[in-house]
Structure formats: C-alpha cells, structure tokens
C-alpha cells in the first residue's frame, strides 16, 4: 500500500529486525514422536519461533515452518538436521513425495530487514557447517547456488534416494559440501535460499495418477513432451508460469491430487492455479472437489483469492479481511480434507504481536471500560482514530449496499471500488487506535529513563523528544486518513443508495469529529518539541486538513439535508 507524503511521516522509526523464514522438509510423516523430537530442537534455540508443523502420512514427509534471526535460523536448522539424521533411516523410507535424505530440503526465505543475497550467505554458512560437522553430503540450490546447472531442486533430486548411490560418484554431482559418499541412513540434503513458495495440492474426483498427471502437465510451466508434425519431440508449455507440478494418489484420502509448488505467487497466484486445474479437469471429464495447503500462506494470497471469486460473482470486494478469507476458503475448498484455521495457516497471523493490538481486540464494552478507567491511555487520540474508523465504515456500508442494490447491477464495480477504498482506510484507522496509545506509552517510558549523569540526561532528553515527535505524527496520520475517508463518504451521499444517505451523513460527522479531536493531540504534543521548525510545520499541516474537512462536512451535510 502506498502512503502519501503526509502519511509517510509516521513510518516507524525503528531498525528493521532481520527475519528469515525456514521451511525444512523431513522424511517422516507418520511417527509423531520422531517429528516432535526434531521440532523440539528448533524450539530450544533462542530467537527462533516455530510456526507450523504439517505432517503427511501418504507422502511420509513433514513440512516444518519457523522464523527467526539469521543466526538463530542457522543454529536451529543445524540441530534439526542433526536430530533428523539420528532418528530417520532412509533405507526404510517409503512415500509418495520425491526425496533423497532425512532432511530432504532446507530453504531460507527472507522475510524482513534482509536481502536475498544476505539470506543466501546464511544458507551457505549452514550448508558448510552441516557438511563439515555432520559429514553429510550437501547441495546448494536456488539463490545460494552459483552453478546454474545445479540451481533447480528437481534437477538435483532427480534419481531420488535410490539413484543417488551412483549419481554422487559422477564428477558433475560432487556435493558442494561434505563427503562424496552417499550416506545409507541419512541420505543427502539440499540447502538454499529462495522466494516465498506455496506448496498447494488440488483434489480430484479420481483415483487415477495418470489422469492427475495429465492435469498437472496442462497446468505446470514445464508442460509435457509431445511430437510435432515432423515427428520431433518438443516441449508443450503448460498454462501457468512459475508452477511445478505432478499427479499422485493419496491413500489417506482415497483420491488423486495435482501437487504443485507455486514458486512465485506474484506471477501465478493460488486462485489462478486452482482455476486452471478446474478447467483442465473439466475438459478431461473430472471434477475438482477442493484443495489442500501444505504449510503456510501469506495473507495477501488469501485476500486476493477472496476478491477474485467475489469479482467472478459480480459482488463487491470491499468487505472485511475476515470475510475475504472466508470466501477464499470456501471457493478453493481448503476445508474439504480437514478444517482450515486461518490463525494457524496465515503467516502474518502467526507473527502478529498481540500486545500491539490490545485495544481493537476488546469488545465495545471492554473498550469503553478501559477508556473510562483511571489509566491515562487510551485517550483522546485513540478515541479519535476509532471514531474515524466508524465514520468510514458507515460510508463503506453504503457502498456495499449500493453495489448489491436491485436494479443497479451495471454499477456494482463502481461501488465495489469505493467499498474497497473504505475498507483500506478503516483498517489503517483501526491500527491507529492502538498506535496512538503505544506512542503515549513511549513518552511515559522515556520519562522513566535514568538521569543521574550528564550522559544519561542527554540520552533521556533525546529519547523523550523522539517519542514526542512520533506522538505528533500518529494523530496527524489519523487526520489524513479521515480526510481521505471524506471522499468515500461524499461519493456515497451523492451517488449511493438514497435510502442510506443519512448513514453516510453520520459518517461525515464522525470523520469531522475525529479530525478535530486528533488535531488537539497534534497541537498539545507539538508544544513539547524542542524542534520548533518541525512543530510549526506539523501544526500547519494539521490546520489545513482541519479547515478542508470542515468545508467538506458542510458540503456533505447540505446534500444530505437536500435529500431528506
């Protein structure tokens, strides 16, 4: 989401913590005791947070997802790889998924504050340590691999466990680290750095692996080999770029699936891959009955899918995040084989700091009780943000009602766009409810710093000023967001469902009150700033917003009164 120059003032002034996501795949999906012993090694490491453990019985494989600082990820992966090598015997392993080692693959994915190049270096560091200390053959892949012929995981793993005893002896397949001897018990492992990948399976109403493969070949980028009119063998590409796929039969479910890796969800999102499978299966006399996510998925993938299916129904996409996710789950059939719990499968939800959003998770009565208590926060700033959120919510409601109004079918998209903008502003304002209180608490924390020595006094003064500056920027952003919301509200007053014109009018009153209230906070906090130039500038910007909002309110209410 792009911020205006004014909104950009309130980007948090903190150093981004470097975070990497690790998704090691272990060749054990049935013995929960073995899986738990492996994940215990990850949880022992400070700085690593286990997010998801997804075992598959038919594949006999478990996908583990955790995040952490780079050093923590290297340590946690090393200990998990070591433990997996002790507990898993590859000579006895059977499963539907291609594999070559106890820890089959271990990718690093940059999450925040770190580049792909830096992430690749940590993957290389882990690979070198595993090869040297565990005496395990290790191959690098994707961004961690310099040899272009060995970047692709499927190329490295070709031949699988059974074929690697001969493959590893070939000069071109000497491991990047570790001995060039294939380990009978542990196999070999592949470590690398890659973009975020979604492992995704589509369910078919067939038990035929051949038929499932036919769909996979239709969809995956690599397509299939066919003969042209000259009888020459050529590659016929599939429908979806950045998609790898095969068909397999899952005895646990009694169905065949199209198993896919979506290697770049910006190129081919989940919902597009799903619809392509749907189209191919239909053409081949089959039906897609649902789908299955392996591991975690980004929030945007789910909300984009929800919007995609709503647009196909010619319905407004300007609904809540929760509703979009619900639509995505039902449309993709993600709950066919087992319950799909967003709080356990969406990566942003697992990383969410519950303390940072304490207020907006309260009930209405709890929020009122907290506000009326003897605590100074939440105060006027948080209340202004919440009033602003209610104001734009009313405008958004009118947009959604208008989008679905009988007889206005040709205008659904117009109102959908207004509703989508309203939802975005509502979400931003809700964040500001807690952020204003967080900003106040930062000031209080700064005043509590020690001041015994001159150095301590200087550090305390500097921190107080930084916190106070931020506490003026937060309500200024509230003002800006509320001013933007006036555009949605005014459009709904003028063109929306006339039966709801007063609702939009009340929205305008809320937005105006929120701006005036937030401006009081801007002024009182700016008063405590030693940087008077900045203080004058931010107060001046606030004054211009307040003046414009009051004029807009007058204009909106004039239209409302004219219609009632």
Active site positions, annotated: 97, 436
Q: How many CB atoms lie within 10 A of CB 363?
A: 8
| CA proximity to 194, closest of 99, 241, 264 | 264
Per residue in 311-333, is it b (16+ CB within 10 Å) or e — as a string? eeeebbbbbeeeebbebbbebbb
Q: At how many degrees (to 10) do helices 412-447 and 380-403 cross?
A: 170
Q: Which tokens sit at 510? A: 């809320």
| DSSP tag of 94 | -
Rounded Cα distance, 268 and 263, in Å:
8
Q: Which tokens sit at 529? A: 């700033």
- Residue keyed to tokens 């680290």: 177
Q: What share of the chain is helix, strand, coil (3-state, %, to 5)?
A: 55, 15, 30
3 state DSSP class of 449: coil
| Angle of CA points 356, 369, 518, to nearest 5° | 60
| CA proximity to 309, closest of 301, 300, 317, 319 | 317
Q: Which tokens sit at 535? A: 């203080």
| CA proximity to 331, closest of 314, 310, 346, 300 | 310
| DSSP tag of 16 | P
Rounded Cα distance, 158 and 244, in Å:
14
- Residue keyed to tokens 């789908």: 291
Rounded Cα distance, 117 and 120, in Å:
5
Rounded Cα distance, 532 and 72, in Å:
44
| CA proximity to 6, closest of 529, 478, 515 | 478
Rounded Cα distance, 491 and 266, in Å:
32
| DSSP tag of 131 | H
Q: Residue 372 contacts by C-beta under 8 Å, 6 or more apart in sequence?
A: none
Whether 323 and 305 have beta carbons less than 8 Å apart is answered as: no
Report CA-CA distances (Å) from 338 to 66, 211, 334, 450: 22, 24, 8, 54
Report CA-CA distances (Å) from 128 to 41, 109, 115, 175: 20, 18, 20, 11
Whether 315 and 404 have beta carbons less than 8 Å apart is answered as: yes
Whether 249 and 209 have beta carbons less than 8 Å apart is answered as: yes
The secondary structure element, H or E, covering residue 250 is: strand 243-250
Rounded Cα distance, 6 and 538, in Å:
10
């Amino acid at each position: 989401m792009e911020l205006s120059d004014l909104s950009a003032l309130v980007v948090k002034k903190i150093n981004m913590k470097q975070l990497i996501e690790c998704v090691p795949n272990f060749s054990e999906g049935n013995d929960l005791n073995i899986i738990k012993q492996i994940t215990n090694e990850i949880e022992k490491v400070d700085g690593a947070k286990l997010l998801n453990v997804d075992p598959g019985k038919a594949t006999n494989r478990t996908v583990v997802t955790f995040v952490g600082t780079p050093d923590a990820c290297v340590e946690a992966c090393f200990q998990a790889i070591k433990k997996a090598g002790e507990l898993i015997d590859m000579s006895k392993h059977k499963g539907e998924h291609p594999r070559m080692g106890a820890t089959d693959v271990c990718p690093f994915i940059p999450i925040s504050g770190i580049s792909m190049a830096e992430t690749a270096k940590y993957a290389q560091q882990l690979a070198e340590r595993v090869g040297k200390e565990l005496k395990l053959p290790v191959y690098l892949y994707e961004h961690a691999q310099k040899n272009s012929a060995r970047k692709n995981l499927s190329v490295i793993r070709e031949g699988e466990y059974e074929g690697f005893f001969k493959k590893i002896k070939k000069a071109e397949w000497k491991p990047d680290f570790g001995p060039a001897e294939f380990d009978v018990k542990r196999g070999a492992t592949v470590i690398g750095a890659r973009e975020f990948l979604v492992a995704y399976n589509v369910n078919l109403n067939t038990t035929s692996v051949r038929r499932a493969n036919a769909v996979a070949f239709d969809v995956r980028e690599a397509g299939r080999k066919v003969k042209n009119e000259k009888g020459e063998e050529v590659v016929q590409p599939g429908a979806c770029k950045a998609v790898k796929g095969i068909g397999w039969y899952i005895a646990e479910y009694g169905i065949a699936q199209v198993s896919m890796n979506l290697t770049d969800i910006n190129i081919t999102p989940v919902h597009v891959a799903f619809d392509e499978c749907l189209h191919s299966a239909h053409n081949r006399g089959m039906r897609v009955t649902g789908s299955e996510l392996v591991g975690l998925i980004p929030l945007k993938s789910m909300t984009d899918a929800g919007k995609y299916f709503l647009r196909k129904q010619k319905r407004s996409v300007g609904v809540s995040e929760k509703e979009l996710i619900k639509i995505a789950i039902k449309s993709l059939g993600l709950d066919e084989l087992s319950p799909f719990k967003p709080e356990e499968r969406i990566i942003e939800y697992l990383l969410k700091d519950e303390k940072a959003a304490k207020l907006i998770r309260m009930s209405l009565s709890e929020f009122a009780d907290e506000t009326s208590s003897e605590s100074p926060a939440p105060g006027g700033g948080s209340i202004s943000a919440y009033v602003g959120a209610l104001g734009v919510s009313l405008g958004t409601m009118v947009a959604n009602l208008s989008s679905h109004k009988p007889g206005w079918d040709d205008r659904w998209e117009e109102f959908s766009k207004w509703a989508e903008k309203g939802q975005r502003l509502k979400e931003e304002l809700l964040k500001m409810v807690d952020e204003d209180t967080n900003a106040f608490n930062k000031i209080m924390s700064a005043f509590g710093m020690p001041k015994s020595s001159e150095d301590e006094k200087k550090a305390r003064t500097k921190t107080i000023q930084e916190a106070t500056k931020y506490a003026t920027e937060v309500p200024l952003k509230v003002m800006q967001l509320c001013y933007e919301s006036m555009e949605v509200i005014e459009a709904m007053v003028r063109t929306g469902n006339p039966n709801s014109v007063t609702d939009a009018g009340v929205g305008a009153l809320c937005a105006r009150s929120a701006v005036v209230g937030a401006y009081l906070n801007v002024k009182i906090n700016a008063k405590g700033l030693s940087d008077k130039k900045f203080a004058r500038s931010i107060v001046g910007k606030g004054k211009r917003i307040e003046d414009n909002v009051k004029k807009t309110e007058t204009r909106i209410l004039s239209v409302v009164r004219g219609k009632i």
